[in-house]
Structure 1
Amino acid sequence: MTELTDPAVRVSGAREIAPDLLVIPNDHVDLVPNIGVVGGTEAVLVVDTGIGTANAAQVLAFAREVAKGRRLYLTTTHFHPEHAFGAQVFAGEATYLVNRGQAEDLATRGPGYLAMFRGLGETIARRLDGVHVPAPDEVHDGSRDLDLGGRIVRLRPTGRGHTAGDQVVEVPDAGVLFTGDLAETGQFAIFPWFPPHDTDVSGVGWLAVLDRLVAAAPRVVVPGHGDIGGLPVLTDVRDYLRELRDETWRRRDSAMDSDQLVAEVRAVLVERHPEWAGREWIEPGIGCLCAEHGVTA
């Protein structure tokens, strides 16, 4: 196994993308998410934590500095370790809010993902030393409009896509959308398709979610990983998922041998997107869409 780069969050790189709205960028480091810090007159919301307690402690310290005495909230876009497995650091200092689907993912999938990520190498295992699966303080059904004082932030579950419990975070007055891993830039879409242990990802559902997000036309899109951008962040992922679906289903209809199907689809997509990272996620995406062959959203 090739040792992964240390997934260290660098709060020194934080930049303001709208008034009182900062992003700590992932700087294209594996297993580091883009992290949001969104302020109103009364409170500040942190979006995602980074992996492990040391990263989360840096994020919390940065958020305290930004808040200057304002109340703190934390939310996460989905349950995967680099997004949520630092939340325990915020206990007693911030109210941790998640949607119902994500809370269920944390409880049912969280322990398995913690064990799996600890197996990714010594660097990741060290980051996860002393980490336990977080438990939210508050769980909401449907959308939750969080009033930060003069700024409403909408926590909106999307339905099944990258996970069963995905949640986007909208800042309507700034036109900003945090997508979590429903969108990435510069890489193939991440399909956590690990049968029989986890088959919650849905390529068909993910496409339907992206169609809805595109229709809302946010001004600024903060992806789970990669560069911040505009609407093309969403349309590029949507278009890729359509390619993946169409190329997979066309060959599935021909009853092609599975190995040949994977090889052909992979070759086509790499040829179309030669500069993208994460080629290892193409095959799980094919597997997912083969399982969903003929399904409509």
Structure 2
Amino acid sequence: MPEQVTHDPVVRTENVQELADDVVVIPNGNVQLVPNIGVIGGRDSVLVIDTGMGPGNAEKVLEFAARYARGRRLYLTTTHFHPEHAFGAQVFADEATFLVNRDQAEELNAKGPGYLDMFRGLGAGVARQLEGVELPRPDLVYDQTYDLDLGGRTVRLRATGRAHSRGDQVVEVPDADVLFTGDLAEAGQFAIFPWFPPHDTDVSGLRWLAVMERLAAESPRVVVPGHGDVGGPRLLADVRDYLRLLRDETWIRRDSAADERTIVEEVSALMIQRHPEWAGREWIEKGVGCLCTEHPA
């Protein structure tokens, strides 16, 4: 289980940040369990990326998106199925076309009820946001890539394969050189490993690292992480380098037959020394556990 949350994870739409012409982000304000939410416009349509947690947050996002669209058609996509990113999609049902990659749709169907129960146990504020959640069904499902024509602007949705989750996708705005990563990348935070054996073991440190190597090599101008401040290509390189170091230091100790508790303590101390300013230190242990299982025997 993630740690208990003592605040209400509320999306605030007052301080919208413009990234490029007709590309904005509703920033998460570095509030835990609030995602960065993207809104991308073309001549005819507007795409919303992620909903916030639960119907109340999604209603605020939809209200903002409708004002922003000024009559343009609405689309919705989610970077992955986790509750703060996707468990508000029901609000968009009659207002937008909801499209995601196939792996994400299947993961939502398989794991959604369990994650809903788990997150309701994280604290009263989270439980309040999740009141009335109905798990959504996408209107349109694609396999690997989908080019969405918004009118004069094409946005590319790209499934990455198993990494932070089984169904991650990134969203690219090629003409503006902007990339939305979801939780494949966070700013100012250790990578979130949802490693909850035996309930969920689909996160893969090795596949995640391979994805980050590809994304970092593409070096987009603007990177919108799942949580934290918007950045540039250095943000992707930081996550890549962290995952690489986490793998190497875990496996060195695994090779020497150290027990997992010793590996966690030593690797955690090293990572905190390297990044004392990063939040989410509890996720280091989850990453070590995941990578221990991926160690070549």
1:258 aligns with 2:266: no
Residue 184 of structure 2: which of 177, 182, 185 is its match? 182
How far did 1:3 drift? 4.0
1:68 aligns with 2:70: yes
Per the normalisation by structure 1, the TM-score is 0.98
Question: Is the contact between residue 114 and residue 133 of structure 1 (CA under 8 Å) also seen in structure 2?
Answer: no
Specify every segment of 5 or more residues in structure 1 that has no aligned partner in the other structure, as ranges. none
Q: Deviations over 1:161-204 (max 9, x none)?
A: 00010000000000000000000010100000000110000000
SS at 1:283 equivalent: helix
Residue 138 of structure 2: which of 136, 139, 147 is its match? 136
Q: Deviations over 1:229-284 (max 9, x none)?
A: 10011000000001100110000000012211111111111111111100000000
Report the counterpart of residue 84 of structure 1 in structure 2: 86
1:104 aligns with 2:98: no
Q: Within 5 A, what are the aligned runs for 1:1-297?
A: 2-294=4-296
How far did 1:128 drift? 0.3
- Aligned mates of 2:208, 2:267 — CA distance in 1: 19
- Aligned mates of 2:129, 2:31 — CA distance in 1: 14
Runs of 4 or more consecutive aligned structure 1 residues displaced over 2 Å after TM superposition: 1-4
- Aligned mates of 1:267, 1:206 — CA distance in 2: 22
How far did 1:60 drift? 0.3
Question: Is the contact between residue 43 and residue 70 of structure 1 (CA under 8 Å) also seen in structure 2?
Answer: yes
Question: Is the contact between residue 4 and residue 30 of structure 1 (CA under 8 Å) also seen in structure 2?
Answer: no
How far did 1:2 drift? 4.9
SS at 1:26 equivalent: coil
SS at 2:47 equivalent: strand
Deviates more, 1:152-161 or 1:210-219: 210-219
SS at 2:181 equivalent: strand
How far did 1:4 drift? 2.5
Q: Match of 1:142, as an amino acid?
A: Q
Aligned residues: 295
- Aligned mates of 1:147, 1:254 — CA distance in 2: 53
Distance 1:214 1:3, change over 3 A: closer
Q: Match of 1:81, as an amino acid?
A: P
Distance 1:191 1:3, change over 3 A: closer
- Aligned mates of 1:3, 1:246 — CA distance in 2: 32
Question: Is the contact between residue 260 and residue 289 of structure 2 (CA under 8 Å) also seen in structure 1?
Answer: no
SS at 1:173 equivalent: coil
- Aligned mates of 2:259, 2:295 — CA distance in 1: 15
Q: Match of 2:103, as an amino acid?
A: G
How far did 1:134 drift? 1.5
Cα RMSD for the two superposed structures: 1.0
Identity over aligned pairs, percent: 69
- Aligned mates of 2:28, 2:176 — CA distance in 1: 21
Q: Match of 1:8, as an amino acid?
A: V
